[in-house]
Amino acid sequence: MAEFDTISELEEEEEEEVATEEHMRKYAPDPVLVRGAGHITVFGLSNKFDTEFPSVLTGKVAPEEFKTSIGHVNACLRKSLPVNVKWLLCGCLCCCCTLGCSLWPVICLNKRTRRSIQKLLEWENNRLYHKLALHWKLTKRKCETSNMMEYVILIEFLPKYPIFRPD
């Protein structure tokens, strides 16, 4: 009978931890969106992101670090998107003859570009931003002006856990 009481006490503690984590996420500030600012968009991925420093991040990140991180992402896009555009034009020209199969290379190249940006952001998170209680990720969002989807960089604020709280 004593073992049964011990198990139920552990389950209650786990429920309390989950409730406090949800409570902490609830009061975290809203995430910051960095939208694409380029003039070319291929399957929702713009050819560059806006390098303007958001005022919400003042005191959290140095503007130089922010611009460096966005610069890394823009360099990755600058390297891969011209190839994607060329394949898109070629695929569109041959689309009628191939019944749409000529667009597959563009889709695969776009997916590879997104994965490389996600890996880059993961590296930046591990290098700097997780230490500053921030998390950067590439997500798909609905455009404000139309029903189209676009990829944006979402900067989330990670909750700070109270490490000095008694057990």
The stretch 30-44 carries a mean pLDDT of: 86
CA distance 55 to 48: 20
- Position 134 scores a pLDDT of 93
Give the residue ranges of DSSP H helices in 27-102: 63-93, 95-98
The stretch 4-16 carries a mean pLDDT of: 50
User: What pairing do the DSSP bridges indicate for beta strands 41-42 and 32-34?
Assistant: unpaired
- Position 19 scores a pLDDT of 45
- Position 165 scores a pLDDT of 64
| Backbone conformation region of residue 65, classed left if phi is above 0, alpha if psi is from -120 to 50, else beta | alpha
- Position 144 scores a pLDDT of 80
> What is the reported pTM?
0.74
| CA Rg value for the chain | 22
Q: From residue 94, how far is each of 22, 44, 89, 166 by CA, in Å?
A: 51, 22, 9, 67
- Identify the band that residue 65 occupies on the pLDDT scale cut at 50, 70 and 90: very high
Element (H, E) at 141: strand 134-142
Across 18-22, 45-49, 52-56, 145-149, least confident range: 18-22
- Nearest CA-CA partner of 113 in 167, 41, 59: 41
Neighbours of 126 (CB within 10 A): 10
CA distance 19 to 104: 45
